[in-house]
Amino acid sequence: IATDGTIVEGASALDESAVTGESIPVEKTVGQKVFAGTFNGTGVLTIEATATHENNTLAKIVHLVTEAQEEKGRAQRFMERFASRYSPAVLAVGVAVAVIGGLVDDWDTWLERAATVIVAAAPCALVISIPISYVAAIGNAGRRGILVKGGVVLEDLATVQVAAFDKTGTL
């Protein structure tokens, strides 16, 4: 079903699992509301749209998920703060190695050593490792039919000691 609406003619069993998590089809008849993102199973329906595609139930769910995925987890925020202080320090050490060494010895040798210090100590791999891990975990869960709303949720899962699922399997 393309957008939210009300059934004006027909009856059918609708698969609302994408919206509600309920795996059992729901019987719908004239006068009942239907939601974008659900699947018509058994009958023919005439539906009067009550929302545009930008403002329907599915669009709202997508918006909520997108917002949640933009939230940064504690580890990612820490790593960004760390890198914002560590990177200038690495650069300062590299410049110091080049200048002090260059004053004492051959400039070419010490410029090469300074570049080595900067490249070896740069936190790029460390900073990018957390978002890449989040994307890999969220993608892997998605392929298994599990919707994870972002890195914050992944971090919170590490502290879970007991999980309880209702009959629909949604949390």
Residue 135 lies in a domain: yes
| Phi then psi dihedrals of residue 111, to 5 deg | -65, -40
Sign of the CA dihedral with 13 first, then 16, 17, and 23 last: negative
**75 and 58 in a common domain:** no
Report the C-alpha gap between 42 and 20 in whole angstroms.
19
pLDDT along the chain (171 residues), means of 10: 94 87 87 93 92 88 75 83 90 95 93 94 84 83 77 86 71 57
**100 and 124 in a common domain:** yes
Predicted pLDDT at 32: 95
Predicted pLDDT at 33: 94
Tokens of 107: 């400039």
Confirm whether 166 is a catalytic residue.
Answer: yes
Report the C-alpha gap between 156 and 142 in whole angstroms.
18
Predicted pLDDT at 117: 93
Contact 138, 154 (CB under 8 A): yes
Residue 171 lies in a domain: no
Tokens of 150: 């972002």
Catalytic residue among 4, 15, 108, 166: 166
Q: What is the CATH number of the domain that holds 21?
A: 2.70.150.10
**75 and 151 in a common domain:** yes
**123 and 86 in a common domain:** yes
Tokens of 152: 């914050």
Range of the domain at 17: 5-67
Predicted pLDDT at 125: 81
Report the C-alpha gap between 86 and 73 in whole angstroms.
20
DSSP, collapsed to helix, strand or coil, labels residue 38 as: coil
